[in-house]
A = this chain, B = another copy of it.
Amino acid sequence: MTALARLRDELGEAVDTTAESLEAARADRSGHRSPGRPLAVVHARSVDDVQRTLRIASATGTGVVVRGAGTGLAGGANAGPGEIVLSTALMNRLVEVRPDDLLAVVEPGILNADLNARLAEHGVWWAPDPASRDISTVGGNIATGAGGLLCAKYGVVRDAVLGVDLVLADGRMLRLGHRTVKGVTGLDLTSLVIGSEGRLGVVVGATLKLRRLVKGDACTITASFSAVGAAASAASSVTAAGIQPAIMELMDARSLRAVHDLLGLAAPPAGTVQLTVRTDGPAAREDAGRIAAVLTANGGDVTMTEDPVEGERLLSIRRSVHPALAALGTTLIEDVAVPRSAMPAMFEEIARIERVHGLQIPTVAHAGDGNLHPNFIFEGEEVPESIWAAADELFRAAIRLGGTLTGEHGVGELKSRWLAEELGDDQWELQRRITRVFDPQGILNRGKVFADA
């Protein structure tokens, strides 16, 4: 029996081969698309469904691509010809909330924002805050090791997961990690799974580390600058002054202009760059005052509000960057990160690459943690080689400055050719061999992360 026949035999209506579903599984939100339609989409509703699917895949040597909401930005969940798509989107239960132990147990398909809406009733929250939180799943957040806007103060996914239930390629399930905040029994496989982009196994459950909701009113600051270097320096100065904002976002002139166009706001003065900063917690107002002083001293034109509605309006300008750029063409969203002090230098590199390649690279940055999203905009579905050439220079510049080619989106398909350059050949090979311990046949997310493996 073929893999597809066996899937239908064992999983019945969970197996979906409609053209629409197969077509949708070819692409994520990276603007990249696989060469053709996969074999089938399995809509798993239980751990047992996942295990059955993987046993069939193992027995038949069929490739499997695990998929949540498909909101990735690196092609990590794109499925191609001959592959089974294993969707965990329907496994979306909130299994347990323990405010007293500050933990929750979830299935992987739950949306980040839905989870937090439900946790709020208990006075707690899960801190990872990717910009996609309304549409991305916790399982996908774990698979990519997602970040977001709040990381500098509240950490990334890696800091917020206590344990993971993982189904291996052969169908066995492992319970990794702990329900305790401390625990050092053996190797930390939970951390190894976080950010492993589907290469080690299928996350079918997670024990999340929660925080209490932050008390007090937040303050929101915007500061306008006449040059991106000045804004980046000002942001670095805030960190260097020892103040920790909850959010500190930088929009360069091209991004800011695009958002104003999209939202129908008056165009900002030419060349205006904007920082949007939020403080929270018991010292929110005092911190905001100190940040405003640092930004003013660095040449910023500062406004500040404690009004939550106005604060949300100011932040919504930042959150509109991706739709605003998408309105201009197909976007390739890059994701380099550098040490915070190197942000001004990274912006200089971006300006140089723009000049050399004759491109515009609108850039936003999580300025509190040195994570920049330079955006390339082009026509059509395929990233042109001329843009990859510019991206290549971008990655090398970030690595040269002590940084990395991906801060939070992952390697996926789109950046796998640069991975060995950052890791070194020895580490690349060691990592590839570790994946083989988990998945000896190499059926899980083939060709992702490790290009030729």
Contact = CB atoms under 8 A, between A and B. Distances in A.
Interface of A: 98-103, 123, 144-145, 147, 151-152, 155-156, 158-159, 172, 174-176, 178-189, 191-192, 194-196, 199-200, 212, 236, 239-240, 242, 244, 282-283, 286, 337-341, 366, 369-371, 402-411, 419, 422-424, 426-428, 430-431, 433-435, 437-438, 449-450
Given A184-B410, A186-B423, A189-B430, 15 more contacts: A98-B341, A99-B240, A101-B340, A144-B184, A158-B188, A158-B191, A178-B403, A182-B407, A184-B408, A185-B411, A187-B431, A188-B191, A188-B195, A434-B434, A437-B437
A406 B184 contact: yes
Given A100-B240, A192-B192, A340-B100, A186 B449 contact: yes
A191 B145 CA distance: 13
B341 A172 contact: no
A156 B180 contact: no
A341 B96 CA distance: 14
Contacts of A158: 188, 191
Contacts of A408: 182, 184
B181 A369 contact: yes
Contacts of A430: 174, 189, 437-438
Contacts of A433: 437
Nearest to A191: B191
B407 A183 contact: yes
B195 A187 contact: yes
A172 B408 CA distance: 29
* Chain A interface SS verdict (over half): loop
Contacts of A282: 282-283, 286
Contacts of A200: 187
A183 B337 contact: yes
Given A185-B411, A186-B419, A196-B187, A337 B427 contact: no
A183 B406 contact: yes
Contact of A370 (B174, B181, B244, B283): B181
Nearest to A438: B430
B152 A100 contact: no
A415 to B, nearest CB: 8
A434 B433 CA distance: 9
A198 B100 CA distance: 35
